[in-house]
């Protein structure tokens, strides 16, 4: 799950620094797929400081979880998964 989250934010050596989803390959276990999909949906919900992204906007994360009408226990599990992926993504984003 961490590897997949980091892969979404890998820096590209390609033209313009852009990459497509086909530029990397990463295995996501089936039980982690819903959390990974949610994390990918939240790609536009980063809070930014002077040095770049600082973390996800948890107000938006919780709103999306509420909108999905998940059982409380499942929503809590997915939120925990999101936080793990958030940290992995931030490590990748800020890697020199």
- Cα separation, 73 vs 14, whole angstroms: 42
Residue where the block lists tokens 């979404």:
8
- Cα separation, 41 vs 26, whole angstroms: 17
From the number of C-beta atoms within 10 Å of its C-beta (0-12, 13-18, 19+), residue 6 rates as buried
pLDDT of 18: 46
pTM for the structure as a whole: 0.79
Q: What is the pLDDT along the chain (96 residues), one digit of tens a residue?
A: 788 777 777 766 555 444 455 556 778 899 999 999 999 999 999 999 999 999 999 999 999 999 999 999 999 999 999 999 999 999 988 987
pLDDT of 60: 97
């Amino acid at each position: 799950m961490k590897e997949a989250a980091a892969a979404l934010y890998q820096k590209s050596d390609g033209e313009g620094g852009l990459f497509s989803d086909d530029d990397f390959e990463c295995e996501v276990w089936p039980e982690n797929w819903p959390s990974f999909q949610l994390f990918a949906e939240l790609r536009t919900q980063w809070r930014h400081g002077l040095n770049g992204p600082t973390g996800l906007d948890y107000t938006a994360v919780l709103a999306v979880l509420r909108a999905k009408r998940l059982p409380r226990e499942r929503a809590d599990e997915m939120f925990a998964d999101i936080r793990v992926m958030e940290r992995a993504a931030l490590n990748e984003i800020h890697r020199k």
